Amino acid sequence: MADIIPSRLSLHGKLRPGNTIEARWIVGHPMETGFRVDDEGRPIPRNIITVVRVLLNSKLILEVEPGTGLSAQPLLAFSVIVPPEGGMLAVEWRDDKGASGRTQQFLILES
């Protein structure tokens, strides 16, 4: 069984239709570049997040292929315009070893 890699999606700003809010996604991924060696001089295999997909109400709004430039426990912050009906914001990701994850937040409109 693969290790569970935790991630969290948080929303910042007023959840009102048409407002722009900031979404922040953080994941506890080691982001091993493949450039380092262990204490015995053996290369540490590359294992980075290869794709991050952001969906708003099941529609793709952002796709990122991060590469080796991200540090461990990467943070991705992006702007989202709150739709009139609210809905759900989801982040999906996959890494070199085939591990994947998904986290989501409901956009419950403020009155």
The answer to whether 15 touches 86, Cβ cutoff 8 Å, is yes
Cβ within 8 Å of residue 5, ≥6 positions away: 27, 28, 29, 99, 101
CA 92 to chain CA centroid, nearest Å: 6
Please state the pTM of the whole predicted model. Answer: 0.91
Is the pLDDT at 65 greater than 70, yes or no?
A: yes
pLDDT at residue 2, as a whole number: 60
Mean pLDDT computed over every residue of the chain: 95
Give which of 100, 75, 102, 73 is closest to 88, Cα–Cα.
Answer: 102
Is the pLDDT at 107 greater than 80, yes or no?
A: yes
Angle at 95 between CA 93 and CA 2, to 5 degrees: 100
Is the pLDDT at 111 greater than 90, yes or no?
A: no
Q: Could you tell me the pLDDT band of residue 42, with boundaries at 50, 70 and 90?
A: very high
CA distance 37 to 17: 50
The string of pLDDT tens digits covering residues 69-99 is: 889 999 999 999 999 999 999 999 999 999 9
Is the pLDDT at 34 greater than 90, yes or no?
A: yes
For the chain, percent of residues with pLDDT exceeding 90: 91
What domains are defined for the chain?
7-35+43-107 (2.60.40.10)
Instruction: Name residue, tokens 């982040």.
Output: 91
Give which of 105, 15, 103, 2 is closest to 47, Cα–Cα.
Answer: 2
Return the structure tokens found at 50.
Answer: 């290869």
The answer to whether 9 touches 103, Cβ cutoff 8 Å, is yes
